[in-house]
Amino acid sequence: MNDSVGPSLREAKKRENRKAFLEAGRRVFSEIGLGAATVRDIVRESGLAQGSFYNYFDSKEAVFEVIVDSVVEQIRARLRESREAAIDGPSFLIAGYQACMELTAFDPDTAALMRRNQNAFRAAFYQNQTASGLLADLVEELDGKVASGVFRPHDSAVMAETMISLGVDLIITCLDAPDEAPRRLDFLQDLFANALLADGALDGACC
Amino acid sequence: MNDSVGPSLREAKKRENRKAFLEAGRRVFSEIGLGAATVRDIVRESGLAQGSFYNYFDSKEAVFEVIVDSVVEQIRARLRESREAAIDGPSFLIAGYQACMELTAFDPDTAALMRRNQNAFRAAFYQNQTASGLLADLVEELDGKVASGVFRPHDSAVMAETMISLGVDLIITCLDAPDEAPRRLDFLQDLFANALLADGALDGACC
DNA sequence: TGTACATCAGTGAACGCGCGTTCACTGATGTAC
DNA sequence: TGTACATCAGTGAACGCGCGTTCACTGATGTAC
């Protein structure tokens, strides 16, 4: 009888195999991309048997989805951290973008995965449940800053979507051209400062 | 001997068959998407023989590329028109976006194609030669308006990319939710007016 | 504890399928004279 | 103009391939007593 604490041997093996398929998927997708990858590629890379795959996933897309979900969750966590660290309006604007860029700098495996699967990633991101949470986080934050007078009133739902869309652009651009990062960060800071900061809060503005 | 004016019979047939493959591709891609489509689907839809396909294209992707190119060219032409019609800064900002939306409203076939292939379309757009021309058009226009004092100085290259990226977002969003269009157009007008218009040019601005 | 049986995930050979691509043949079009 | 030949795109059956998926069998793990 399995009276030990924790998962049974069977459960442990299942978790291990699932992880093996996920890691194999990461490697395969990083190397040849979701489009070119096949279930057989993932199975080969995992070292397990063909038949075992279907005990865990229905398709390569199912594997990809789980991987994307974990990446988006990482990003969301980083954004939460950066948000708590930033107090004033302008630093809030830029801190989130910087946090995203750091993630790709400090996690080259994920960066490679994203570089090789830019479009699949973007598509998955927009359908992803965690990404919706990330969007909701941002809307809430924007509404809060409007309430406290830091930001002008605005269409926060569309604003949040726009910020995230440009964030995805930023990450993807900077995967290929990291030198562009500072210039693009400056641009985004300007763009959203002009759109959001209450009148008179801009450095050297009129009046 | 072929001493008639215009293309020979052979050339005319070739043109006709090429067109048949392109139109078949459009229908197939609209219905099942680039990813799911096969060369055989396109051939079946064209009514021509399997072997003939390879006299004209190397792959389904080659067909898709030509189709995307023609769509981007349509958009570019519309943007050129709208640009000539708009004289002042604010109307320039919004006229381009409106022109894009009209295209999808007045050309349901292309709209269906884009809806079914949003990501392939976005990806192709960013690699497309005509799209680069469209980007160059916009940079030139922005620089001109800065020179004439209508717009503030800014990073026009990144600004143009941003405008186009948000334009692609706009088109794709409004394909699924046309009711959103006015709200999103308003948002974009505000966003870029704040970023671009010379100080004092905003209605009811400070001073 | 030990034994007998039940459960269940792992295995990999095998299946059928649709794919991209080829190529010998056909017949319409173009050319030479 | 007419005739004989050359050119060249169209044809579709056929090929080999790798794919997703299945399933009878195995053997480790779990359970009952």
3-state secondary structure chain A: CCCCCCCCHHHHHHHHHHHHHHHHHHHHHHHHHHHHCCHHHHHHHHCCCHHHHCCCCCCHHHHHHHHHHHHHHHHHHHHHHHHHHCCCHHHHHHHHHHHHHHHHHHCHHHHHHHHHCHHHHHHHHHHCHHHHHHHHHHHHHHHHHHHCCCECCCCHHHHHHHHHHHHHHHHHHHHHCHHHHHHHHHHHHHHHHHHHECCCCCCCCCC
Distance (Å) of CA B104 to CA B74, B99, B111: 11, 9, 5
Mean pLDDT of A15-38: 97
Backbone angles phi, psi at A102, to 5 degrees: -65, -40
Highest average pLDDT, of A82-86, B123-127, B136-140, comes from B136-140
Percent of chain B at pLDDT > 70 equals 92
Distance from CA of B45 to the nearest CA of A (A): 24
Which strand D nucleotides have any atom less than 7 A from protein CB atoms? 8-14, 18-24, 28-33
- CA of A38: nearest nucleotide by C1' is D19
**Is the predicted pLDDT of residue A202 greater than 70, yes or no?**
no
Stretch A84-97: mean pLDDT: 83
Report yes or no: A207 at the B interface, CB cutoff 8 Å: yes
pTM above 0.85, yes or no: yes
Q: Tell me, what's the pLDDT at A84?
A: 84
A8 CA – C7 C1', rounded, Å: 14
Supply φ then ψ for residue B74, to 5 degrees: -60, -45
Contacts of residue B167 in chain A, CB cutoff 8 Å? none
Question: How sure is the predictor about B100, in pLDDT bands with cuts at 50, 70 and 90?
Answer: confident
- Whether B207 has its CB under 8 Å from any CB of chain A: the answer is yes
Taking an 8 Å cut-off on Cβ atoms, the answer to whether A162 and B190 are in contact is: no
**Does B91 have pLDDT greater than 70?**
yes
Q: Are B153 and B146 in contact (CB under 8 A)?
A: yes
User: Tell me: the pLDDT tens digits for B62-74?
Assistant: 999 999 999 999 9
Contact status of A199 with chain B (Cβ, < 8 Å): yes
Indicate if the pLDDT at residue B205 is higher than 50: no
Choice between B123 and A52, residue whose per-residue pLDDT is larger: A52
Of A165, A183, A205, which has the smallest distance from its Cβ to B166's Cβ? A165
pLDDT digits (tens, 9 = 90+) for B24-81: 999 999 999 999 999 999 999 999 999 999 999 999 999 999 999 999 999 999 999 9
Cα B129 to the center of its chain, rounded Å: 12
Is residue A122 within 8 Å of A72, Cβ to Cβ? no
Contact at CB, B165 and A165, closer than 8 angstroms: yes
Confidence band, pLDDT 50/70/90 cuts, at residue B106? confident
Closest CA to the C1' of D8: that residue is B10
What is the tens place of the pLDDT at every residue in B126-135?
Answer: 788 899 999 9
Q: Which of residues 85-114 of A touch B (CB under 8 A)?
A: none
Q: Which pLDDT tens digit goes with each residue over A130-179?
A: 999 999 999 999 999 999 999 999 999 999 999 999 999 999 899 989 99
Mean pLDDT, chain A, whole residue set: 89
Q: Which pLDDT belongs to residue A6?
A: 53
At residue B206, the pLDDT reads 40
CB contact under 8 Å between A159 and B187, yes or no, is: yes
Q: Distance, angstroms, CA A121 to C1' C14? A: 36
